[in-house]
Amino acid sequence: MDKSIEPKKVSDVLDNAESYIAEMRQKQDKVTIPQELKQYIWIYFRNADMTKAIMEKLACFSVDKIYRVASVLTMADEYTFAFFAGVMPKLWDSLQDRGIDTFYILDNAIREDRFNLIVNLFRVSGFCVVTPYFDTTNKDVLKTEKEKTVHIVMDPPLFYDYCSLEAVEAQINKYMSSTQNIAYIEADSRVNYLDKVMEMGKKSKYLCIFRNEAPTDSRVQIVRSNYPHSA
């Protein structure tokens, strides 16, 4: 990769994401930069002396940065997905190997096309994504009639549907039981299960992070941390 964008610290992997993707696109190469960055992450975690607090800060920055990068991308193509799929799972595997499991809760006004991009980038990055909207990825998790219930609103000009709170709980419990990293995303104010979802985060062993600020704002809220001195 270009020397000017080589990572100097592990957070550069996402801070420079758009530059890495642009170089991949320019060189028509979906492999080399992701391989170099995965190697950098491996060496970093092998050599760095990181406390639990430092690793939680890295996880907090990284998960939120996925959302913030996805929110401003002007182009999402095969190179975009090759970067996130090729690099980010290595980072999350490295953190989970050291006891950091991440639960990210996102509440924001997100238009449909951008919402789909954010969901897909989280998925290829190594997260199980839960939303209060049905899709083909959650059908096998839902067992009871309450979990399968779809609420439909037909109040012109509004026509939309959403799934039950039980469906959301079932998915989160399923992914927590197998210790998967989880992202819960609400795209608008038409449904609000945030109190229950955050309560699940508080009762879990996860590093639980909540964002409801605009992507240009760096603030997030730590709902639960394994580190006793975190906010």
pLDDT confidence band for 160 (50 / 70 / 90):
confident
**Distance between CA atoms of 130 and 176, rounded to whole angstroms?**
12
More reliable by pLDDT, 143 or 29: 29
More reliable by pLDDT, 157 or 67: 67
Section 143-159 average pLDDT? 81
- Partners of 102 in the β-ladder: 207
Among 25-34, 63-72, 149-158, which is the least confidently predicted range?
149-158
pLDDT confidence band for 21 (50 / 70 / 90):
very high
For residue 20, how many other CB atoms are within 10 A of its CB?
23
H helix runs in the chain, sequence order: 12-15, 17-27, 32-47, 52-72, 78-97, 112-125, 145-148, 165-177, 194-203
> So what's the pLDDT on residue 138?
67
Spatial contact of 62 and 11, defined as CB atoms under 8 Å apart: yes
SS3 141: helix
pLDDT tens digits, one per residue of 30-43: 999 999 999 999 99
Whether residue 56 is predicted with pLDDT greater than 60 in this model: the reply is yes
Spatial contact of 183 and 189, defined as CB atoms under 8 Å apart: no
49: phi then psi, degrees, rounded to nearest 5 = -100, 95
Residue holding tokens 């240009």?
A: 216
Whether residue 135 is predicted with pLDDT greater than 80 in this model: the reply is no
Among 58-72, 86-100, 134-148, 183-197, which is the least confidently predicted range?
134-148
pLDDT-above-90 percentage for the chain: 77
For residue 44, how many other CB atoms are within 10 A of its CB?
17
Residue in 64, 67, 103, 107 with CA at minimum distance from that of residue 194? 107
> So what's the pLDDT on residue 17?
96
For residue 8, how many other CB atoms are within 10 A of its CB?
9
pLDDT confidence band for 231 (50 / 70 / 90):
very low
The DSSP bridge pattern shows strands 102-107 and 182-186 to be parallel
Whether residue 81 is predicted with pLDDT greater than 50 in this model: the reply is yes
Q: At what angle do helices 52-72 and 17-27 cross, to 10 degrees?
A: 60
Whether residue 106 is predicted with pLDDT greater than 90 in this model: the reply is yes
> So what's the pLDDT on residue 136?
59
Average pLDDT, the chain: 92
- Partners of 129 in the β-ladder: 183
Q: Considering the entire predicted model, what is its pTM?
A: 0.93
